Amino acid sequence: MTKRVLIIEDEPNIIEAISFILSRDGWSVDTHSNGHDAVAVVLMRAPDLVILDVMLPGRSGYDILTDLRAQPETRDLPVLILTARGQARDRELAEKAGASHFMTKPFSNADVIEALNALVAQ
Amino acid sequence: MATLNILIAVCLTYVALLFAVAFMAERAALQGRGNWLRSPWIYTLSLSVYCTAWTFYGAVGYAARSGLEYVTIYLGPSLVMVGWWWALRKMVRIGRTQRITSVADLISSRYGKSGLLAVCVTLLAVIGITPYISLQLQSVTLSFSSFATSDPGGIALMESHDTALWVAIGLALFTILFGTRNLDANERHHGVVMAIAVEAVVKLCALIAVGVFVVWGVAGGIGPMMERIDASEIGTWQMDGGRWVGLTFLSAAAFLTLPRMFQVLVVENEDERHLRTAAWAFPTYLMLMSLFVVPIAVVGLDLMPAGSNPDQFVLTVPLTQGQEGLAMLSFLGGFSSATSMVIVAAIALSTMVSNHIVMPIFLRLTQGGAGGPSDVRHVVIMARRLSIGLVLALGYLYYKISGGGTALAAIGLVSFAGLAQLLPAMMGGIFWRGATRNGAFAGLVVGFVLWTYCLLLPQFGNGLPPSVLEQGPWGIGWLRPQALFGIEGVDPLLHAVMWSLSLNTAFFILVSLVSFPSPLERLQGAQFVNIFERSGNPQSWKGGIAQSEDLMIMAQRILGPAEVQAFFQSEAARQGLAGFLPEPSPDFLARLERELSGAVGGATAHAMVAQIMGAASVSVEDLLAVADETAQMMEYSSQLEAKSNELTRTARQLRAANDKLTQLSVQKDAFLSQISHELRTPMTSIRAFSEILRDAEGLKPEDLTRYASIIHAEAIRLTRLLDDLLDLSVLENGQVSLNLRDGRLSDVIAHAIAAAGSDMHPLRVRRVGPAEGIFLTTDLDRLAQVFINLIANAQKYCDAPRPELTIAVTRREGRILVDFIDNGAGIPPESQGMIFEKFYRISDRQAGGAGLGLAICREIMDRLGGTLGYLPGQGGAAFRVSLPVAQRMAAQ
């Protein structure tokens, strides 16, 4: 069965690129582009996996992730943090908030696919 | 002539010897080798300043005139030394613990440190002692002339040289040299004392040698001598009982009150125990001095021609017998007697004059003046030296004015009687707690007046007209100076002594009883009278644990608890005690004083410890020293305070600078993080899509074109971002070079509108303002860049259905104002302060741009000498560009 992935990202071109490669790999792709209601959207759509940007309009990705980890439904949901902020401190913050995986932009398309497959395989 | 020359040579040699002795003793004391200087024998010998030239020469004269009565002069002091030993000890103890420097100091200290009393006593002493000093000068002169008369041609020499003047000058030099060495409150003059001890030996030897010569050399043994004495009038003269008692009492009183005796007895005293030796040794000395007085007088009366001066028998008897060597020795004895008295009297008087008259006047004159500590010391020493000169000059003047006549011979007893006026105040002060300052003052004044009126004036010259002497002043018979209240037929001296001392004492007691002492007087009175209860031994501190506790509390206040507790504990451990409280042993107290003096200065530390140990009160000189220290410390602490303020200021500046640097560093980190983010975002799209195109898997043809154009657009965005960053960096670093040109403002606006692509955009641009035609000299391209940015912002953000931008130009107060106002929703107030910050964006990035535009515009306007600001309250978003009209400035 196809796995459903939710991309939470505000940069349209990046959404389009990830959507394309994931669809091509057989994923069912959903997108969302602001931080305000991101938690509610995740709960409502109940994806198998989430790709989460950090610098979102309205709310930081870390805060969204912390909230998700506090909900029983999404406590174990695989979440991949994908951010343009690539400093060591950002990786720590992501791990602290409960990220399943951490990747920085720009990324290699193959790496993203590989990481996602590894996450859903666990 | 030869004899006189030899005499002068011997005399000078002797003086040089005295200088050498004094100098060596002084040096030994300084180098701490002077233990032998502190012998009780030296102390006893120094007491011999009592025996002046008046005793040396005059006793024989006295015996020749009045028989054995001369003995009273020796009897009084002997009785005091033997019988009143305990009273002397009390005086010495008080003098040492209270650091008394003179009789005047003793009396004024006892009566509440009264300056008035000190001045009175000082004046009395100066008046009483000055004639006595001239007597010494006279005796030296007389003894010189005795030699001269036996030497033809000598008289002329004597008359051409004023012996008294040279003696006075020499003594002044000696006294200044050895009497004002240092200023220690407890000052002892080892050199002077040593020289006086030597002189004491010389005068005793001289007198005994003459006596031995007279008895065995002239009379032919003791037996024949006794026969001669029996045969002479001296042996048969009757003794006047009243005069004997009176004179003995007078000399005893003088022994206690004479300033020079106080100096050697109390001030120069090294150790109280020396009194024990002196108690029997000094009477013995006096006995030896008096042993041969009668034989010399008897033989002198026999041998010398009638009418010759019996005062000179000691000298003239050996001379007429051809014993020039012996006469020379005798002369030196007399010289010693005279000089030792003058030296010590000058020191004692000068201490009083400088401490109680000169210094108070100086301190009052320089009140508030900035006199450093060295100044005060210097002034004190100068005052002492001047006073010494003054005292000797007075003595010499008195000698000159009184003509050196025989009247001087009686001065010894007159002087004694004058100084004896101090006795009630002194003895009352140390034995009677009820004695008060007013009592002492009243007694002193009454005694002084009566002494002057009954004894001094009638005795000397023409102080009183004869009518007063015979009928009393204004004819009032019972006020006759020598027969007060009708008591006649009494010896004038006894009469005066009796009246002056009894009324003195009566007034002292009565006024003391009716007056109230001040608190300080009460305190001092208790300390003086109960001196033996307060201190076991004046040399060292004594006390119990209670005082250790007080010391600890006091020390903690100064040094802080931790340090003091450690110090006390280690001191207790040193004494083998547990805990924090050592026995207040002298060693411990000395160390504590040292610790304290590091913080508050030596004098203050001593005064504090002394106050707690209750062993000593604080003298005026102590207080001066304390004040000096305090002044120094205040100076030092104000310097410290200034330094500390400076440090605080520097620290504050450093902190501010550091805060600023930290803030800059945080800003820089945030900026770099922002740039990184802004660069990574377009690169992410470019990389992702280029990989998609490269793999070419699952691509539809239309996707191909679309994705290639996304890559293109993102590459342009990236380039623009880099351009903006570079532009901003150049502008911020001030490295931008401006291209100044003349141009019309309206042209710049038109160019900007065109460049912003307005004709392609729905935003309508409206231009108003008559000032548009103005000419500017500025970087027209940069100005246009600002305008373009503002127009582009309106194009991007104006959310009105029919977007419109008004560009209004006005002139105001020498400036050109170009306002860009659109009809959109405007910028929310909370963001208005932020929009010029780098990377600030109000909403999402749909409108593109990295958020650097306004930051760049503001930098450009800065460079052009103008400003760019937001105009709130205009309906839509409104920016104002302001430029000075005279655009002739060079921006660099």
Report which secondary-structure segment, H or E, holds B804: strand B804-812
Predicted confidence at residue B369, as pLDDT, reads 47
Predicted confidence at residue B153, as pLDDT, reads 47
Q: Which residue has the higher pLDDT, B803 or B408?
A: B803
B220 dihedral zone (left: phi>0; alpha: psi -120 to 50; beta) = left
Percent of chain B with pLDDT over 70: 82
Whether B847 shows a pLDDT value over 70: the answer reads no
In chain B, whose CA is at the least distance from the CA of A53? Answer: B681
Predicted confidence at residue B373, as pLDDT, reads 46
Is the Cβ of A17 closer than 8 Å to some Cβ of chain B? yes
Span B478-525, pLDDT tens digits: 666 666 666 666 677 788 888 888 888 999 889 888 887 766 677 677
The C-alpha atoms of residue B22 and residue B190 are separated, in whole angstroms, by 7
Predicted confidence at residue B787, as pLDDT, reads 92
Is the Cβ of B35 closer than 8 Å to some Cβ of chain A? no
In chain A, whose CA is at the least distance from the CA of B842? Answer: A57
Q: How long is chain A?
A: 122
Query: Shortest Cα distance from A114 to chain B (angstroms)?
Result: 15
Mutate to test the interface with B, among A15, A16, A22 (most CBs of B within 10 A): A16
**Number of independent structural domains in chain A:** 1
Is the Cβ of B687 closer than 8 Å to some Cβ of chain A? yes
Q: In the structure, what pLDDT confidence band is assigned to residue B535 with cuts at 50, 70 and 90?
A: very low
Whether B633 shows a pLDDT value over 90: the answer reads no
CATH number for the domain that contains residue A37: 3.40.50.2300
**DSSP per-residue string spanning B194-223:** HHHHHHHHHHHHHHHHHHHIIIIIII-SHH
Q: In the structure, what pLDDT confidence band is assigned to residue B414 with cuts at 50, 70 and 90?
A: confident
Span B592-620, pLDDT tens digits: 877 776 666 666 677 777 777 765 555 55
Whether B892 shows a pLDDT value over 50: the answer reads no
The C-alpha atoms of residue A103 and residue A95 are separated, in whole angstroms, by 12
Angle between helices B437-451 and B411-420 (to 10 degrees): 160
Q: Which residue has the higher pLDDT, B167 or B856?
A: B856
The C-alpha atoms of residue B725 and residue B856 are separated, in whole angstroms, by 9
Q: In the structure, what pLDDT confidence band is assigned to residue B690 with cuts at 50, 70 and 90?
A: very high
Is the Cβ of B691 closer than 8 Å to some Cβ of chain A? yes
Judged by DSSP in three states, B434 sits in coil
Is the Cβ of B683 closer than 8 Å to some Cβ of chain A? yes
Q: In the structure, what pLDDT confidence band is assigned to residue B539 with cuts at 50, 70 and 90?
A: very low
Spans of chain A below 50 pLDDT: none
Type of residue found at B70:
Y
Judged by DSSP in three states, B62 sits in helix
Chain B 651-680, CB below 8 Å of chain A: which residues?
Answer: 673, 676-677, 680
Most confident of B361-365, B424-428, B515-519: B424-428
Q: What is the mean pLDDT of chain B?
A: 79
In chain A, whose CA is at the least distance from the CA of B678? Answer: A84
Predicted confidence at residue B171, as pLDDT, reads 79
Q: In the structure, what pLDDT confidence band is assigned to residue B130 with cuts at 50, 70 and 90?
A: confident
| Beta-bridge partners for B764 | B804
Query: Which residue is listed with tokens 């001269």?
Result: B148
Q: Which residue has the higher pLDDT, B371 or B362?
A: B362
Predicted confidence at residue B194, as pLDDT, reads 86
Is the Cβ of A43 closer than 8 Å to some Cβ of chain B? no
Percent of chain B with pLDDT over 90: 6
Of A10, A34, A106, the CB nearest to B687: A106
The C-alpha atoms of residue B297 and residue B316 are separated, in whole angstroms, by 11
| B328, two tokens | 């020379």
* Residue whose C-alpha is closest to residue A65's, from A2, A3, A6: A6
Predicted confidence at residue B317, as pLDDT, reads 82
Most confident of A54-58, B238-242, B805-809: B805-809
Predicted confidence at residue B888, as pLDDT, reads 46
ipTM: 0.93
Inter-chain residue contact B688 with A34, CB threshold 8 Å: no
Q: In the structure, what pLDDT confidence band is assigned to residue B627 with cuts at 50, 70 and 90?
A: low
Span B637-682, pLDDT tens digits: 888 888 888 889 999 999 999 988 888 888 788 778 888 888 888 9
Q: Which residue has the higher pLDDT, B522 or B435?
A: B435
* Residues 6 or more apart in contact with residue B542 via CB below 8 angstroms: B535, B536, B584, B613, B615
CATH superfamily membership of B736-884: Histidine kinase-like ATPase, C-terminal domain (3.30.565.10)
Query: Which residue is listed with tokens 């880099």?
Result: B722
Inter-chain residue contact B691 with A109, CB threshold 8 Å: yes
Most confident of B41-45, B534-538, B575-579: B41-45
Type of residue found at A36:
H
DSSP 8-state symbol, B864? T
Is the Cβ of B685 closer than 8 Å to some Cβ of chain A? yes
Most confident of B86-95, B464-473, B487-496: B86-95
Predicted confidence at residue A50, as pLDDT, reads 95
Q: In the structure, what pLDDT confidence band is assigned to residue B786 with cuts at 50, 70 and 90?
A: very high
Which positions in chain B touch A13 (Cβ < 8 Å)?
685, 689, 710, 714
**DSSP per-residue string spanning B364-424:** HHTTTS---HHHHHHHHHHHHHHHHHHHHHHHHHHHHHHTT-GGGGGHHHHHHHHHHTTHH
- In this structure, of B168-172, B444-448, B762-766, the range with the lowest mean pLDDT score is B168-172
Is the Cβ of A75 closer than 8 Å to some Cβ of chain B? no
Is the Cβ of A88 closer than 8 Å to some Cβ of chain B? no
Range of the domain at A49: 4-121
Which positions in chain B touch A21 (Cβ < 8 Å)?
688, 692
Domain residue ranges in chain B: 2-100+136-364+386-407, 540-615, 626-723, 736-884
Query: Shortest Cα distance from B828 to chain A (angstroms)?
Result: 16
Overall CATH class of domain B626-723: mainly alpha
Whether B687 shows a pLDDT value over 90: the answer reads yes
Q: Contacts from B633-639 at CB under 8 Å and sequence distance 24+? A: B633/B600, B633/B601
Predicted confidence at residue B614, as pLDDT, reads 62
Most confident of B99-108, B842-851, B854-863: B854-863
